[in-house]
Amino acid sequence: MQLLVAALLATTAFSEINLVEPSEDAMRGAFAADLSQGVRTALAYVAQAGDAEALARIRAARTDEFEIRAFRKIECRPSDRRPGHACDFAVEVDTVAGPIVRTIAGRFFVGPCGLAYEEDA
């Protein structure tokens, strides 16, 4: 019985967390973490393909580096299809090739390690 009550409380807490609209700072962190993971995945693919020379060129050219210069939350609304919020935001990412400025829509939700971001809400 205690296990059932604990599970019910945890489920309720998790669903309530997904009802709270994410802050701009939390969104920025989740977006940066997702972008970093994408870069790591791309580098791992090149390394797995066995192209050490290509990996060295990427790192020497610093094309694997970025910095989020600006981030502005525009609007969030509860996601219709899945837990979390569908949010629009503007971001400026500085890269070695120059800045990338975009307005993006994505879904922010509570994942296993905190707030997470998924492109295309």
- pLDDT tens by residue, 18-38: 578 999 999 999 999 999 999
Label residue 8 by pLDDT band (50, 70, 90).
very low
pLDDT at 10: 47
SS3 at position 59: helix
pLDDT at 2: 57
Would you say residue 52 has pLDDT above 60? Answer: yes
- pLDDT tens by residue, 61-111: 998 899 999 999 999 999 988 999 999 999 999 999 999 999 999 999 999
CA distances from 97 to 25, 62, 65, 100, 118 (A): 26, 9, 10, 9, 25
Would you say residue 41 has pLDDT above 60? Answer: yes
pLDDT at 54: 86
CA distance 80 to 98: 36
